[in-house]
Structure 1
Amino acid sequence: MADSSWRRERLSRPLFRWAAAALPAMSETERAAIEAGDVWWDAELFTGTPDWRKLLDTPPASLSAEEQAFLDGPVAELCAMIDDWRINWELRDLPADIWAFLKARRFFGMIIPRQYGGLGFSAYAHSEVVRRISTRSVAVAVTVMVPNSLGPGELLLHFGTQAQRDHWLPRLADGRDIPCFGLTSPEAGSDAASMVDTGVVCRGTWEGQETLGIRLNWHKRYITLGPVATVLGLAFKLRDPDGLLGGAAELGITVALVPTDTPGVEIGRRHLPAMQVFQNGPNQGRDVFIPLEAIVGGPERAGQGWEMLMTALAAGRGISLPSLAAASCVFAAHTSGAYARIREQFGIAIGKFEGVQEKLGRMAALAYQVDAARRLTCAGLDAGHKPAVISAIMKYHATERMRVAINDAMDVHAGKAVIDGPRNYLGNIYRAVPVGITVEGANILTRCLIIFGQGAIRAHPFLMQEMAALADADPRRGLDAFDRVFWRHAGHAARNTLRAIGRGWTGGRFAPAPRAAGVAAPYYRQLNRYAAAFALVADAALGSLGGALKRKEAISGRLGDILAELYLLSAVLKRWHDEGRQAADLPLVQWCMESGFATIESSLDGVLANLPGRAVAAVLRLACLPWGVRRRGPADAVTQACAALLLEPSAARERLLPGLARPRAGEAVHDLETAFELAARHADLLDAVRRAGSDHPLPETWSAEQRDAVEAARAAAAKVIEVDSFEPHALRSHAMP
């Protein structure tokens, strides 16, 4: 007891004072963002000693019989209805029959429980639906994803009063009401908390009765479904200057539901985001009066809007855009592999050129990795977790990998992907990439401020407890709590230091691996090495920079990259394990691992090269990177092995590219698949023709069946290679106003 008292007074108290001074001031909006959701596998990674058995024992994401039936039935039917060229070029909107179908089949109610008339789907089913539709049309996918993401439905489920749920949720589920959510304004983009949209508590008339309510004025933009919405979830800053509620004058960000037919609401105008025609536009409100009961959760929830938004985003950000990104990566790999097989230049298929294989191999591996991470994230969500940091990782890294994969696909297709028309199945996805990069938290912000900035506090095993102790209004109680937590933290850091040194100097060769690892054991060992290094460097950066780390965005971004790679690589190993450790898939696993290890070492090197405390950086480098940056990324042979999986029909290709919506006969992707199948089926005949030279007639000894097969394969390839052209009047008739 005496020793504990001596430690507290002589050691902990000075450290307590130093930490209190070093700790940055935290606003209520920052606190709400950090405390939103919870932690899961990210917290394991932050310990420096992740429990791999816990990961491998996590049940894989799966569909119920009802969810599978919905995919096989209504989703397949919807996909067959979609003509993306007509939607984007001719109608610039979804056709009326698709709007009606989405409402009738309750696509807008996937997250709404059955008791309210919704589908009550799991996160994985929600993700699978969005993913499947995304392989047919970005516009339709976004239209479906938004009502099931951040918006009135999600907010009502978490925070709504029972009366609000009973009224709104059945109407949202069956499409009688179309929701949108108004957050972004001209003054407040990524910094949504700086919005100037206001609501003032006052008395007014609602449905013929005088009542206490709110008079709203706002100007929002970039609001998806806004032009056609019937109910607007609105974020604004609430003020009560006359004290009508009996509390503070400035109540803060509040969320309310505003029917769009309320006098003063202006909707209908449209934006055209990167030539994507999903409904998106600005809206305004001038002196719009609503009753206090319109606040989500009722009047007692006034001022709690930011907490609501952060809580809703904690899960939703990990589903919608990552699902679209996963679909895009798979679609890019599928179409590029098929095209590279049938397109010939210089007398050979372009898929045999190493330069093309470099692109194909990367696309294959990214498709494998992003979908692995999507599945793992959905498994966590369906297990009841709401991992805010993992959701941010998924939003950023899935969409960034989508950008790489689509760019690679454009390179492989070359002119075929540049000329727009019904035959171009890549151009619209390419144009849509910036939308995914920008929305739900711009990627620069997400990387530099959220992933590590939030993760360092939320997922760290001790930091939140230390911060709570430092913020305690009772200094004595705070010191006691700090003393207990800090020395546990110190012991943890000491053990991580020893682990990092031991594994760094031995290259991780003796780090543990789970028994089920099999041939992947070296990868688990390396991840254990890098997890220990990350935990040590993260602690050192937090300790040496303190509150200044908020302003060191480049360092924070690199630390976030390391945490993200650890998560994504964990997902790859989990997928390989769940799918039966297929030997044919090992090149994909190897590519992801070698690429990720190179990124981790490069990011560690970047952090250590830029830490202001050079002595600390030197010690950390000696511990974590004693031999320097040695990882070079995937070898050419590995990349080529990944590319080969896309160039031949196989079970491995089917595992890599599951869940693609089937194209309709006569569509460009259907023609591509037909040509690919014919090229693979008649490969020997086509190779014989190629060796003889294209100018030579087919051998007279060949049967009519063989001749027909070659001609059919040639004709199918020629049909795919063709691009669109238009009469001038056809282009003029679809000019934008």
Structure 2
Amino acid sequence: MSSLRQKWITAPLLKWIRKVLPPISDTERAAMEAGEVWWDAQLLSGKPDWDQLLSMGPPTLTEAEQAFIDGPVEELCQMVDDWKISYEDHDISPEIWEFLKKNRFLGIIIPEEFGGLGFSPTAHAEIVTKISTRSTSVGVTVMVPNSLGPGELLMAHGTAEQKKHYLPRLADGRDVPCFGLTSPEAGSDAAAMIDSGVVCYQEYKGEKTLGMKVNWHKRYITLGPVATVLGLAFKLYDPEHILGEQEELGITVALVPTDTPGVTIGQRHLPAMQAFMNGPNWGKDVFIPMDWIIGGQENIGHGWHMLMSALAAGRGISLPSLSTGGAKLAARTTGAYAHIREQFGIPIGKFEGVQRRLAEIASIAYVLDSAHKATTRALDQGRKPAVVSAIMKAHATFGLRQAINDAMDIHAGKAIMDGPLNYLGNVYRAVPVAITVEGANILTRSLMIFGQGAIRCHPYLLQEMEAATNADEKEGVKQLDALLPKHFLFQLKTFCRAVFHGWTGGLFASSPRGVGEAAKYYRQMNRYSAVLTLVTEFSLMSLGGELKRKELISARLGDVLSELYLMSATLKRFKDDGSPDEDRPLLEFAMRAGFHNIEVSLIEVFHNFPMRIVGQLMQFLTMPWGHSIRAASDRQARACANLIMVPSETRDRLTKGVFLGNSGDGIDIVEQAFLSTHETEAIREKMKKGGVRALNDDAIDQALSENLISAEEAEQIRVTSEAVNKAIQVDHYESLPSTSMERGSSETLQ
């Protein structure tokens, strides 16, 4: 029976699979093989095991990590003057650089045995998050050496000698690292890289040495202008067959001291009005000994896999930390400003249009912080979730953009007049940088999240692809034949589950125990997990390799997977926090927004599916009633907005980690006015009931003379009035602020 099935069913099916499978390049294969699957695989299983996620518990900090955040991180934030850094000096001061090096900020992830701090991913993320609420430029400067750079690559792949030499120097700042991958011609497409090296012998330190002669041109390299050691990716060739028969050896990664003959460090770029160091570099016939390859000669050709492995972890920390910090900052300051800023005699936060935006800001901050915590918790446990990291990078920066845009709208003129009092402007200008780097979001969303996720997370697809590419025909048929019954059973279960939950609106879907009223959200999560899994099966079977080229279909399915991850993390965070009733409006708004986005994405997939009848069938089976979950109501939006317009544990919990500024800073001024208005709210209500609505001196005198308030209360109101007036002010200048940056100059700071 088995042989007959293989002959008449499996073998023809194998041929068909080979025809429809999308071609996979070596770089794509390396990217798919890097990292690992985690909760994303559960979401694409059609029946998530919630115990796997909820049993992880919340992320925690050690005493040493918390002490570092309360001590050196706080002190660093107090030292920073972001206006001076970004607009006057266009550089971080020598004092801050020295502080960073002395306190080992550049060695957060380097083990203590090598002189680093040896902190966890959660601590790393919390440190970058807090610094970024003070200065994006300083945040990036701390972030880069600790992720996606030589330090991480050395720890994972370096030789004992390389670790012993470089890690202590990187930890204490004697060496400042950068990593050169992006080139003008290829961008982040490593397959198109033209930077190359040729294996050769050359005299080095008086001896004939085996090495490589390398030529390159890199740009957009963060810390490049100040780096002392350059991590370099290039394609290596062996035309004289010194190492063997193979001529093209693949992408290789080496560490190159920047004072090596032939290395040129170019003039600075100035990224979107940010002051972190960034610039191009070149190499002309630079001789690199073999032992400069990270991991030594045996790692020739493994560079792309090494980079993707590092990216699988680093991308889940770096930009999500900056984005989470920015969203928290937007929530904290915008809620305060909406309360103290009055229009037509009432706080602008009372206007329904403003309330909706406030609710969205608060919800974004809540979701991003939740997903950030869940991701770093997984990283703490040694996981490297590649697809989840891509989701975090793309959607954290998307979320930051929306939160800052909404915050700018509410602040209005306060946020568009530059100066030290403007705490949002520089974050706003940093958004395009975050959106673009570490893989542009358009490509990450269109090609990576679902493109890799559907293959990596599917329980059988990757194995079936391996069977299809097996050079041994008989062995390939055997592999596929063993998988087909399991895959068919998986499809059958998924079909039944998705159709049943689709037609019943998820009413009978399961939910984990002990989640209380949040059970209704878990049921819907299970429903849409099943729907996404079934739609994935239909898409792969009907489109095959064509799905890879249908980027908008892939992007929308990726959006569904991303929303499911973000919402899972939000549910986890709510449970980790003890399911506080006061936080429920945040959960309700976030979950309704997420389900609404999922339904919109799925319906767009159905309506735009290349095979129209398949799209209609998928909608009939899984969403026969169309939109079934509405976005948050106005009542829910109002409740959510109010949470960030009053002093409360919820507000403090939501915005934990935001640096509130030194005395006299823009953030501190607004925060103090916010607190003062709440302290005097009852007094102001008495004045309003008496017909006195203004807060100027004449109005206060009138209220005092009419015995509406006491002399002590009048003084309190004057203090509040002065605080509010100070908070709504913007900077103004007799002439433009001076700057030390001249176009085309090359200023570097060691």
1:252-280 deviation line (CA, Å, top 9, x unaligned): 11111110000111115100000100000
Query: 2:558 is paired with a residue of what secondary structure?
Result: helix
Q: TM-score, normalised by structure 2?
A: 0.96
Q: Conserved in 1, the CA contact under 8 Å of 2:181 and 2:188?
A: no
- Residue of structure 2 in register with 1:45 after alignment: 43
- Opposite residue 141 of structure 1, the aligned amino acid is G
Inter-partner Cα distance in structure 2 for 1:25 and 1:671:
58
- Opposite residue 713 of structure 1, the aligned amino acid is T
- Residue of structure 2 in register with 1:633 after alignment: 631
Please, what is the CA RMSD of the aligned residues? 1.3
Q: Structure 1 stretch 488-497 or stretch 399-408: which is displaced more?
A: 488-497
Q: Conserved in 2, the CA contact under 8 Å of 1:206 and 1:290?
A: no
Inter-partner Cα distance in structure 2 for 1:580 and 1:337:
24
Matches within 5 A, 1:215-364: 215-364=213-362
Q: Structure 1 stretch 293-302 or stretch 550-559: which is displaced more?
A: 293-302
Q: Conserved in 2, the CA contact under 8 Å of 1:342 and 1:717?
A: yes
- Residue of structure 2 in register with 1:586 after alignment: 584
- Opposite residue 94 of structure 1, the aligned amino acid is I
Q: Indicate how the Cα distance of structure 1 residues 662 and 692 shifts in structure 2: closer, same or farther if over 3 A, else same.
A: closer
Cα drift, residue 666 of structure 1: 1.1
Inter-partner Cα distance in structure 2 for 1:193 and 1:280:
24
Inter-partner Cα distance in structure 2 for 1:506 and 1:714:
56
Matches within 5 A, 1:172-251: 172-251=170-249
Cα drift, residue 656 of structure 1: 1.2
From 453, 456, 481, the equivalent of 2:454 is 456
- Residue of structure 1 in register with 2:703 after alignment: 698
Cα drift, residue 698 of structure 1: 2.4
Cα drift, residue 9 of structure 1: 2.4
Q: Conserved in 2, the CA contact under 8 Å of 1:42 and 1:390?
A: yes
- Opposite residue 125 of structure 2, the aligned amino acid is S
1:69-126 deviation line (CA, Å, top 9, x unaligned): 1111111111111111111112111111110011111111111111111111111000
- Opposite residue 54 of structure 2, the aligned amino acid is L
Inter-partner Cα distance in structure 1 for 2:266 and 2:241:
36
Matched, 1:76 2:74: yes
Q: Indicate how the Cα distance of structure 1 residues 5 and 730 shifts in structure 2: closer, same or farther if over 3 A, else same.
A: closer
- Opposite residue 216 of structure 1, the aligned amino acid is V
Inter-partner Cα distance in structure 2 for 1:287 and 1:544:
51
Q: Conserved in 2, the CA contact under 8 Å of 1:358 and 1:640?
A: yes
Q: Conserved in 2, the CA contact under 8 Å of 1:292 and 1:299?
A: yes
Inter-partner Cα distance in structure 2 for 1:413 and 1:611:
42
Cα drift, residue 595 of structure 1: 0.7
Q: Conserved in 1, the CA contact under 8 Å of 2:88 and 2:740?
A: no
Cα drift, residue 689 of structure 1: 3.3
Q: Indicate how the Cα distance of structure 1 residues 284 and 364 shifts in structure 2: closer, same or farther if over 3 A, else same.
A: same
Inter-partner Cα distance in structure 2 for 1:730 and 1:326:
30
Inter-partner Cα distance in structure 1 for 2:740 and 2:37:
53
Cα drift, residue 192 of structure 1: 2.9
From 543, 552, 555, the equivalent of 2:553 is 555
From 99, 102, 105, the equivalent of 1:104 is 102
- Opposite residue 22 of structure 2, the aligned amino acid is P
1:611-657 deviation line (CA, Å, top 9, x unaligned): 22223222211111110123331111111111000110011111111
Q: Conserved in 1, the CA contact under 8 Å of 2:88 and 2:738?
A: no
Cα drift, residue 473 of structure 1: 2.1
Inter-partner Cα distance in structure 2 for 1:479 and 1:259:
51
Inter-partner Cα distance in structure 1 for 2:440 and 2:724:
40
From 533, 536, 549, the equivalent of 2:534 is 536
Q: Conserved in 2, the CA contact under 8 Å of 1:151 and 1:180?
A: yes
Cα drift, residue 490 of structure 1: 1.2
1:150-186 deviation line (CA, Å, top 9, x unaligned): 1111111111111111111111011000000000010
- Residue of structure 2 in register with 1:710 after alignment: 717
- Opposite residue 729 of structure 2, the aligned amino acid is E
Q: Conserved in 2, the CA contact under 8 Å of 1:190 and 1:445?
A: no
Inter-partner Cα distance in structure 2 for 1:308 and 1:693:
65
- Residue of structure 2 in register with 1:120 after alignment: 118
Query: 2:515 is paired with a residue of what secondary structure?
Result: helix
Inter-partner Cα distance in structure 2 for 1:55 and 1:732:
51
- Opposite residue 667 of structure 1, the aligned amino acid is D
- Opposite residue 664 of structure 1, the aligned amino acid is N
Matched, 1:499 2:506: no
- Residue of structure 1 in register with 2:748 after alignment: none
- Opposite residue 698 of structure 1, the aligned amino acid is A
Cα drift, residue 733 of structure 1: 7.4
Q: Conserved in 1, the CA contact under 8 Å of 2:154 and 2:163?
A: yes
1:685-732 deviation line (CA, Å, top 9, x unaligned): 123334423264222333222011101111001001111111226457
- Residue of structure 2 in register with 1:721 after alignment: 728
- Opposite residue 693 of structure 1, the aligned amino acid is R
Inter-partner Cα distance in structure 2 for 1:124 and 1:240:
43
- Opposite residue 79 of structure 2, the aligned amino acid is M
Inter-partner Cα distance in structure 1 for 2:66 and 2:6:
59
Structure 2: tracts of 5 or more residues without a match = 745-750
Inter-partner Cα distance in structure 1 for 2:646 and 2:404:
21
Q: Structure 1 stretch 441-450 or stretch 211-220: which is displaced more?
A: 211-220
Inter-partner Cα distance in structure 1 for 2:408 and 2:742:
25
Cα drift, residue 662 of structure 1: 3.3
Q: Conserved in 2, the CA contact under 8 Å of 1:228 and 1:268?
A: no
Inter-partner Cα distance in structure 2 for 1:68 and 1:511:
41
Inter-partner Cα distance in structure 1 for 2:490 and 2:412:
53
Structure 1: tracts of 5 or more residues without a match = none
Q: TM-score, normalised by structure 1?
A: 0.98
